[in-house]
Structure 1
């Protein structure tokens, strides 16, 4: 079996949210006071998470697993979950998307557990801007986490940045300069309508064209020669290479036609699209005693309903009820 949809796409990349909790309060993600977190009994246990990943890998052709949150480093069983995932046969590529708070202590244990690489969210290299965006004074902790990841061999270490109008939209060149100096791969991501406050405004979004124009005031950019395929980032050589910078233009240059991703939420729901408004429940069947074959079949069925695109440009587009913190990137 495979996780195919009705438009010829096959999901091989699984994003697993380990928690909806986060220790930052980024203005484009959640309100300062936080959110009502998922109740503990609704969350998948470590064993349940690993079992569903195993079903995906052994029966459904999943080749890549990325752990997300909220903030996945807050999951106490993270290192063991990673270790058990990398022990699966065939072994999937295993990565982690994190804000890097606490990564300075966990980078080495995660590398020893088999983690292949990390993506770190960092929108600015100015401490004062970091505090304004995240509402936390933790910039130096992120810097230490990034350095620890690089030292532990979790590379290439990628940095994901979102530019926000009036906050850091003038900082693209210095972000790239800093990442080049430290040996990190930078990817800019257009702000998407996944904030808990439902305050996203396309007119206020910093677009890919604006990001590239800003970068070109200091750097010479040329398209990378290799085809992007299902990778979300459009890559550009910086000053002739070999360094690159990426732009993930989910809104203005959607890549839905090549999407190979499927998502599993921390409470056991399959989401066949980041912007899906419907989910398919695996947790109930899992806890009711379903065998691996039944779980796989339910998962296959969940993918059949995947729409051809996310529809952000459609006037009837409705933002998902769940915010990004409860979906996982």
Structure 2
């Protein structure tokens, strides 16, 4: 079946057909620690190179999405435990200049709650990668208030934005987020499209018995706006009692719903390390209506073998995987006077230990101790 073939997972690089299975055993950790000139990259034992850094700017959020946190919210980190603007920018500079990072995505919590977000983006935009190019800067947001700040963010250097939207039904939006703010999100989508942050991407988590009925309406809405919708399989990152492996909406089920309305064909552009498998869509009733939709099948078709991400939490720890249960703290070393090279070595060591996959289907799998809002999307 074409759908299953296109969504099939890829193993770590040194386990792929034609690759040497002894590669990781022959690589010494010290060979990949960054020297003083910074001409090395963040590589793990399986040869994957991290070029994409996710930076969580806060664990706080102004929504209370049911799959992310309880109605009363969470216990937020004290301000003194989180990185200040100068510390964030220093670690980003180390990542870009010394460790080969080329893309930065700012996340949360809700990153728009970070007071000086424009200044942080401007400081990041001033950096140049190992290829001499501007760092590609993206933002993942729930969209609340984005319409009022989009001009300043773009001027500061923002290249692209992902906006979370799980339904366009007003009542379901209130039920899902516990807030009556849908109109504000829709206004922000319009503002992002008008600002030319192409492609504006809309992230939708599909949950059984909750918003499956929104799959086609969301697709129609995003296509009409010229935005790229990305459906995401629900992952075990929220309240522990809510996620069950056998009771989730899979990528195949999402595609089956879409096929009721659209003709689907796999996009021709290479996927690379992108999490979404892209599909070209054509409205069956009106072939003039076309667009592109992504499916992020993290659970049923993991793409760990192509993962190129490193994660920096708002309190200054490095996570080498979204689902990791171990972290490497940089904040205390930074505040105790560690040099850029020393911080880079700690970072490189953390990435070296990255596992081949997230292990969701392993018998002994345990959710991360941190909730998603404290990890960063």
TM-score by length of 2: 0.86
Deviations 1:114-141 (A, max 9, x none): 1001000000111111111001000000
Separation (CA, whole Å) in 1 of partners of 2:205 and 2:42: 30
Secondary structure in 1 aligned to 2:213?
Answer: coil
TM-aligned CA deviation for residue 170 of structure 1: 1.6
In structure 2, the residue matched to 1:255 is: 303
- Among candidates 156, 179, 182, match of residue 136 of structure 1: 179
Query: Counterpart of 2:272 in 1: which secondary structure?
Result: coil
CA–CA separation in structure 1 for the residues paired with 2:239 and 2:342: 34
Cα distance in 2 for partners of 1:68, 1:273 equals 15
Which residue, 199, 203, 221 being the options, matches 1:178?
221
Candidates 145, 148, 151, aligned match of 1:102: 145
Say how many residue pairs are matched.
Answer: 329
Out of 248, 251, 255, the position equivalent to 1:205 is 248
Q: In structure 2, the residue corresponding to 1:222 is in which secondary structure?
A: strand
Alignment correspondent of 1:9:
48
How far 1:37 moved relative to its partner? 0.4
**Match among 257, 274, 280 for residue 237 of structure 1:** 280
Q: RMSD over aligned Cα, in angstroms?
A: 1.1
Larger mean CA deviation between 224-233 and 271-280 belongs to 224-233
Q: Which deviates more from structure 2 when the two are superposed, residues 112-121 or residues 153-162? A: 153-162
Measure how far apart 1:215 and its partner are.
0.4
1:146 and 2:189 correspond: yes
Q: Are 1:228 and 1:234, in contact at CA under 8 Å, matched by a contact in 2?
A: yes
What stretches of structure 1 of length at least 5 have no aligned partner? none
Largest Rg, 1 or 2: 2
Distance 2:65 2:192 in 1: 22
TM-score normalised according to structure 1 size? 0.98
Gaps of 5+ in 2: 1-39
Find 2:324's aligned residue among 276, 281, 285. Answer: 276
Q: Distance in 1 between matches of 2:270 and 2:200?
A: 21
1:275 counterpart SS class: coil
Report the Cα distance in structure 2 between the residues aligned to 1:148 and 1:79, rounded to whole angstroms. 17
Work out whether residues 159 and 187 of structure 1, in 8 Å CA contact, stay in contact via their aligned partners in 2.
yes
**How far apart are residue 196 of structure 1 and its match?**
3.9
